[in-house]
Structure formats: C-alpha cells, structure tokens
Amino acid sequence: MPLFDTQRRRDEDIVGSSDAATRALSVTAVENDFVEGVYEKLASVYDLIFGPSLHPGRLQAIQRMGLAPGDRILEVGVGTGINMRLYPPNCSVTGIDLSDSMLEKARDRVARQCLRNVRLFQMDAADLKFRDESFDIVYAPYLISVVPDPVKVVGEMRRVCRTGGRIIVLNHFRSPNPILSRVERGISPFTVHVGFKSDLDLPAFLAQAELKPESIEKVNFPKIWSLVTCTKE
C-alpha cells in the first residue's frame, strides 16, 4: 500500500529523460530586485488574492510533514505569515522572506495571534544564514517559481535540513499537456508580474535539484499545483 494516496503526474515518469538535467527551467529570468519589487506591491493584497484559493494546498502540506512535538521547521518564503497558525505550538517555526513589506505583515500576524513559537527573518532563500542540518522540516510554499535560481534555493534547503528530515515544495509547474504547456510558456513573461513563472519545468527542476520525491500530489482547485514531498537521504 503506498505511503500517500497520490495522483501522480506523468512528469514523474520522465524525470530521468536525457535532457531534463540540462534544459532551461523556464523561458523567463528574474533577479532578486525584481522579485522583491513585485512582492512589495503585492503585500497589501496577497492574502485576498492568494489566501483562500491556495489554502487547501497549505493544509495538505502540513499533513504531509507528519509533525511531532519539538520539530524544528523552516518555512522558506514565509510571505505574510499566512501559514503560521497552522503549525502546532509545540513545534519551533522559523520563517524567512526577502520582502520587507511581506515580513511586516507576517510580524503583525504573529503578534496578533500571540505565536510564541515563531521567529521571522529577512533573508535570501538562496543564501540561508543557518548552520547545516538545523531543521527537521524545510518547506517552500509557492516560492520555487518566484526565485531567480530554484536549484540553488533547493541546495540551501537540503543543506539546512537534517539527514532523514523532510524537504517539501508546494508550487505550480508547467502542465504536461502540450497545448497548456505552450500557453504557460507564452504567458510566463507576464505572470512574473503577479508573483510566479507559469512555465517552471517539474522534471527538469527535480533532475537539476537532485530531488527524489516520495510523492507528488495535485492540490488546490483547479488542480494545477503540485505538492512534492522528499526525505533527505
């Protein structure tokens, strides 16, 4: 019996294809200054636009963590802190984000909800200021299609995750459907202005980041987002 009842994507079957390790992850390139500027503008409306619509995926990610008392969690791309109250109070939660405006919202939320198990830092996801193996779970919700270098970010996530800990990525990836794939490539230069690349290549991302998923689940509605769960070997 499988560990999770997942709806597998055909992408999983082609992770090992000959060009996955070398092909471009997206047609769109961004830099940190651009990303930070986008989220500075989105901070005041982020919860309204991306709150309820993406919340089922957040809840499912928490379930997949299998949290135990005392677990140390790093959320990479904490945003407005919308996830913070989902974590049990007997876990230690660290959140980082590049955007000062998003972090200001997160700090206000943490203070209002009296979440004493949470700490927040402004930090580049590609240059985490934590020691090796500092966390039991490292989680990137709706982040990987935003950052300039997803592979470098995952490398940092792996570094700070303990051996046997979990690395979890929740994100939109390009559809395996050829027609939808072409559409997502075409609109990607525009979707970055609302916070994500619509054409991030999942098989290429997994191959280049050297991730071996235990499960890939389709989440939210419509089910165009993927929850990727891995264990650090």
- Nearest-CA neighbor of 143 among 174, 107, 182, 98? 98
Question: What is the C-alpha to C-alpha distance for residues 187 and 199, in angstroms, rounded to an integer?
Answer: 8
Full domain range(s) for residue 225: 10-231
Give the Cα-Cα-Cα angle 150, 4, 11 (nearest 5 degrees): 45
**Nearest CA-CA partner of 130 in 158, 107, 110, 101:** 158
Mean pLDDT in order along the chain per 10 residues (233 residues): 42 57 94 93 94 96 97 98 97 97 97 98 98 98 96 98 98 96 96 93 96 96 96 95
Measured CA to CA, the distance from residue 131 to residue 208 in angstroms comes to 23
> Is residue 147 in some structural domain?
yes
Is 3 part of any domain?
A: no
* Residue 98 is assigned to a structural domain of this protein: yes
pLDDT at 6: 42
For residue 1, what pLDDT is reported? 37
Residue 176 makes CB contacts below 8 A (sequence gap 6+) with 9, 10, 11
Q: Amino acid identity, residue 120?
A: L
Q: What is the pLDDT of residue 4?
A: 44
Q: What's the domain count of the chain? A: 1
- Residue 2 is predicted with a pLDDT of 42
Q: Is residue 196 part of a domain?
A: yes
pLDDT at 159: 98
| The pLDDT of residue 17 | 58
Q: Is residue 1 part of a domain?
A: no
The pLDDT, as a whole number, for residue 11 is 41
CATH code for the domain in which residue 221 is found = 3.40.50.150
DSSP the chain: --SS-----GGGGGTTSTTTTTS-S-S----HHHHHHHHHHHTTTHHHHHSGGGHHHHHHHHHHHT--TT-EEEEES-TT-TTGGGS-TTSEEEEEES-HHHHHHHHHHHHHTT-TTEEEEE--TTS--S-TT-EEEEEEES-TTTSS-HHHHHHHHHHHEEEEEEEEEEEE---SSHHHHHHHHHHHHHHGGGT--TT--HHHHHHHHT---SEEEEESSSS-EEEEEEE--
Strands 135-141, 118-122: pairing is unpaired
**Does some domain include residue 195?**
yes
Going from the C-alpha of 45 to that of each of 49, 67, 119, 121, 204, the distances in angstroms are 6, 30, 23, 21, 32
Residue 2 lies in a domain: no
